[in-house]
């Protein structure tokens, strides 16, 4: 396809393919943003591939997949339009890359330019973009920093101006084939050393008062993960149930329909919602045994985790205990570690640690697992609650504001947040309001501010010091 430039010469239009990873297809919010970019850019020819919608059910149309690959291969540039799902892109998007890999068709991406538009509530969206960028870079794509947007940005005139600028810069980069710096580290495909523990010494007299479940993607196989589970389970003083997440008869992926939020029950009728709610509501300890694959975990985890959305924004593991046994190149994918730590801290899951099979010394790894098994048992019995950090506090503030802002609609979530006093807005704190009212007036006078400055250090720790000095428990 050509068009004429100002001198009447023929110019080639840029062909861009918009890959929509939202399962909502044409009803996707992200798609509106991506279309806005394309509609306002001159000299671009574009088409849409609805990857999210087409790959939502477990079975998919192979003819559609072949055509999608051919289209991507024939186009100059890609705009990934994807919502953020469970701190990453939806499973459907991961599945698409996985299918391309399995079909040996990675060359369709090679040498292309790409960027992304992600719509979300900015909850761990940085991990989603990092994953997408790294995955694209692995495939030889020049990835230009994308736009992460919320559900209102497009309605602002100023924002739209910036969107058009963003698009024209992306287009320019495609036309001029500018060199783009690679951001992600190249993955070295080094297998973890074989974990060879000493023969299992199952401790006897296992207790039954603490319900413990191991969720795993590998069970009873000749792999490090299976052996880590065996060592952990043998040393753990309570009875354990092992659930292989591959065994669940998934009808398909989360469709983003929000039926769970609005009506209560999931639109999928495979029983996953009940299975998951029963699991988290009845267990005291939930161990995750997981395998790292490429830049994330085995894709089955994403299918599983996206479906847990049917439990709403209710952090059902709150106050319980967990730990993560990980097989694979965890140290090469810091985003995965942050995802696990973020999940732990936002959910107040009290993770007692992440144990990776990258440890080269089998006896040390064995000791770590045995130690962890003992620590979890002690922690759960002591009702130990970990301190929080930015990952958890920041994440929870996003959830809090989101649920509060939609409390009339997401009523189950609202009840959960109210009951657990998660609406910790400062304006609800009456003593704090009075304090600020009084100080606001007093601080208009410089001598008061000066006095506050002089007395600030002892005043700030007054209560804490009194408590420590009194040796009170
Ligand atoms: C299963 C599921 C998981 C989600 N996880 C996140 C998340 O981790 N972070 C976030 O900011 N938003 C999350 N969201 C909100 C969506 O990203 C947001 O609603 C997005 O705008 C939907 O875009 P779409 O209409 O194009 O599908 C999630 C939504 C669903 C349905």
SS3 186: coil
- For residue 8, the model assigns a pLDDT of 57
**Ligand 1 lined by 267 (C-beta under 6 Å):** no
Does the pLDDT value for residue 57 go beyond 80? yes
Does the pLDDT value for residue 442 go beyond 90? yes
pLDDT tens sequence across 122-146: 999 999 999 999 999 999 999 999 9
- Domain 2-176 CATH assignment equals 3.30.930.10: no
Domain boundaries, the chain: 2-176, 207-391, 425-473
Q: What is the C-alpha to C-alpha distance for residues 263 and 33, in angstroms, rounded to an integer?
A: 28
- For residue 314, the model assigns a pLDDT of 77
Banded pLDDT at 1 (limits 50, 70, 90): very low
Residue nearest to atom 23 of ligand 1 (CA): 83
Give the helix ranges, DSSP H, for 290-348.
299-307, 334-347
pLDDT tens sequence across 192-225: 999 999 987 788 899 999 999 999 999 999 999 9
Q: What is the C-alpha to C-alpha distance for residues 241 and 121, in angstroms, rounded to an integer?
A: 35
Please state, rounded to an integer, the average pLDDT across all residues of the chain.
Answer: 94
pLDDT tens sequence across 233-288: 999 999 999 999 999 999 999 999 999 989 999 999 999 999 999 999 999 999 99
Using alpha carbons, list the distances in angstroms from residue 415 to 96, 200, 247, 406, 423: 37, 46, 33, 12, 11
Does the pLDDT value for residue 23 go beyond 50? yes
Question: Could you tell me the distance, in angstroms and rounded to a whole number, from the CA of residue 120 to the centre of ligand 1?
Answer: 5
pLDDT tens sequence across 309-359: 998 777 778 899 999 999 999 999 999 999 999 999 999 999 999 999 999
Which atom of ligand 1 is closest in space to residue 151's alpha carbon?
Answer: 21
Residues 463-470 have a mean pLDDT of: 95
Does the pLDDT value for residue 2 go beyond 70? no
Contact 272, 420 (CB under 8 A): no
Banded pLDDT at 360 (limits 50, 70, 90): very high
- Domain 207-391 CATH assignment equals 3.40.640.10: no
Residues 53-79 have a mean pLDDT of: 98
- For residue 460, the model assigns a pLDDT of 92
- For residue 317, the model assigns a pLDDT of 85
Tell me if 2-176 shares its fold with 207-391.
yes
For 347, other C-beta atoms within 10 Å of its C-beta total: 21
SS3 34: helix
Question: Could you tell me the distance, in angstroms and rounded to a whole number, from the CA of residue 315 to the centre of ligand 1?
Answer: 16
Residues 48-73 have a mean pLDDT of: 98
Among 256, 296, 306, 339, the mutation site with the greatest number of ligand 1 atoms within 8 A of its Cβ is 256
- For residue 224, the model assigns a pLDDT of 98
**Ligand 1 lined by 86 (C-beta under 6 Å):** yes
Two tokens, residue 90: 């939806």
Question: Could you tell me the distance, in angstroms and rounded to a whole number, from the CA of residue 178 to the centre of ligand 1?
Answer: 32
Does the pLDDT value for residue 413 go beyond 90? no
Question: Could you tell me the distance, in angstroms and rounded to a whole number, from the CA of residue 90 to the centre of ligand 1?
Answer: 9
Residues 26-50 have a mean pLDDT of: 98
Residues 46-71 have a mean pLDDT of: 98
Question: Could you tell me the distance, in angstroms and rounded to a whole number, from the CA of residue 310 to the centre of ligand 1?
Answer: 12
DSSP state for residue 199 in the 8-state scheme: P
Residue nearest to atom 14 of ligand 1 (CA): 85
């Amino acid at each position: 396809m050509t068009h004429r430039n100002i001198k009447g010469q023929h110019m080639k239009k840029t062909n861009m393919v918009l890959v929509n990873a939202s399962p909502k297809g044409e009803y996707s919010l992200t798609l509106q943003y991506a279309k806005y970019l394309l509609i306002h850019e001159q000299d671009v020819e574009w088409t849409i591939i609805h990857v999210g919608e087409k790959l939502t059910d477990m079975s998919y149309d192979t003819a559609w997949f072949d055509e999608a690959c051919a289209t991507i291969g024939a186009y100059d540039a890609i705009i990934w339009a994807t919502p953020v799902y469970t701190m990453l892109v939806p499973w459907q998007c991961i599945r698409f890359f996985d299918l391309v890999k399995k079909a040996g068709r990675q060359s369709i991406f090679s040498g292309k330019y790409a960027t992304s538009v992600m719509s979300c509530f900015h909850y761990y969206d940085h991990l989603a973009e990092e994953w997408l960028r790294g995955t694209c870079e692995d495939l030889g794509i020049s990835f230009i920093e994308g736009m992460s947007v919320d559900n209102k940005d497009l309605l602002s005139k100023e924002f739209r101006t910036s969107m058009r600028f963003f698009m024209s810069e992306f287009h320019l980069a495609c036309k001029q084939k500018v060199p783009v710096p690679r951001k992600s580290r190249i993955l070295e495909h080094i297998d973890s050393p074989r974990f060879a523990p000493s023969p299992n010494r199952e401790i006897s007299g296992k207790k039954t008062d603490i319900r413990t479940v191991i969720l795993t993607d590998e069970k009873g196989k000749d792999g490090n993960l299976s052996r880590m589970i065996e060592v952990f389970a043998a040393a753990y003083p309570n009875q354990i149930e092992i659930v292989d997440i591959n065994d669940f008869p998934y009808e398909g992926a989360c469709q983003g329909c929000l039926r769970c939020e609005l009506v209560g029950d999931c639109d999928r009728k495979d029983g996953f919602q009940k299975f998951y709610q029963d699991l988290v509501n009845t267990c005291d300890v939930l161990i995750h045994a997981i395998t790292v694959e490429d830049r994330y975990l085995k894709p089955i985890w994403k299918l599983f985790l996206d479906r847990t959305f049917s439990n709403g924004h209710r952090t059902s593991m709150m106050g319980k205990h967990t730990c993560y046994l990980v097989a694979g190149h965890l140290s090469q994918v810091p985003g995965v570690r942050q995802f696990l730590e973020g999940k732990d801290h936002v959910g107040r899951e009290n993770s007692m640690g992440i144990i990776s099979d990258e440890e080269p010394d089998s006896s040390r790894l064995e000791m770590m697992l045995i130690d962890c098994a003992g620590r979890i048992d002690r922690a759960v019995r002591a009702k130990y609650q970990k301190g929080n950090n930015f990952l958890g506090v920041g994440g929870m503030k996003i959830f809090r504001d989101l649920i509060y802002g939609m409390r009339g609609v997401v009523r189950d979530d609202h009840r959960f947040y109210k009951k657990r006093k998660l609406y910790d807005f400062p304006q609800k704190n009456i003593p704090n309001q009075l304090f600020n009212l009084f100080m606001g007036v007093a601080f208009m006078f410089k001598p008061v501010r000066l006095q506050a400055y002089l007395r600030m250090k002892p005043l700030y720790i007054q209560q804490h010091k009194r408590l420590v000095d009194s040796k009170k428990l």
